[in-house]
């Protein structure tokens, strides 16, 4: 004969333990990159896009809402934008001196992005990752998308 399953107190304890572990895991993972007790503050970083056409560089405009980072979930707003010629280091064949030369038809957008983040004694971070000068990242927004590098980072004044 087949025995019928009966719910008892051991089953209830197991279910409660599984729920408790899930809640603790969620709380831990959600706050893992935040500085203990820190409040968010207005930070900025200067982002320089990969080389593109002048028309593409001009699409980066003040007020555009963007997402950034390796997880592409941190949010910010462009507060300053400029189009700059793309330069590349090359040797002058006559003198042998290395210098920066403009690459014809290639430009970059250099944008300042404001975001809510965290500052500690030695680092800046968004809600999901630490940000540093030289970090390669991706920035996406309405009509804009590029990989590039962080040139500067700090607290908004």
pLDDT digit string, tens, across residues 129-146:
889 999 899 999 999 999
Indicate the average pLDDT of the chain. 88
In DSSP terms, which residues pair with 141 in a beta bridge? 66, 144
> Mean pLDDT lowest for which of 40-44, 68-72, 111-115?
68-72
User: How far is residue 2 from each of residues 5, 6, 8, 90, measured CA to CA in Å?
Assistant: 10, 13, 18, 83
Instruction: Locate 107 and state its tokens.
Output: 């430009």
Q: Which range (56-60, 65-69, 124-128) has the least confidence? A: 124-128
Threshold 0.85, pTM exceeds: no
The strand pairing partners of 37, in sequence order, are none
Q: What is Dmax (Cα atoms) for the chain?
A: 97
Q: How many Cβ atoms from other residues are within 10 Å of residue 111's Cβ? A: 28
What's the mean pLDDT in 107-132?
90
């Amino acid at each position: 004969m087949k025995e019928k399953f009966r719910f008892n107190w051991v089953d209830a304890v197991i279910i409660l333990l599984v729920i408790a572990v899930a809640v603790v895991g969620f709380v831990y993972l959600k706050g893992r990159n935040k500085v203990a007790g820190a409040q968010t503050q207005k930070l900025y970083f200067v982002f320089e896009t990969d080389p593109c056409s002048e028309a593409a560089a001009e699409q980066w405009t003040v007020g555009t809402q963007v997402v950034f980072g390796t997880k592409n979930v941190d949010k910010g707003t462009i507060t300053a934008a400029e189009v700059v010629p793309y330069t590349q280091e090359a040797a002058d064949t006559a003198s042998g001196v290395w210098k920066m030369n403009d690459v014809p038809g290639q430009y970059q957008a250099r944008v300042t992005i404001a975001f809510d983040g965290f500052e500690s004694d030695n680092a800046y971070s968004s809600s999901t990752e630490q940000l540093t000068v030289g970090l390669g990242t991706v920035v996406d927004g309405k009509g804009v998308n590029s990989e590039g590098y962080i040139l500067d980072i700090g607290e908004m004044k």
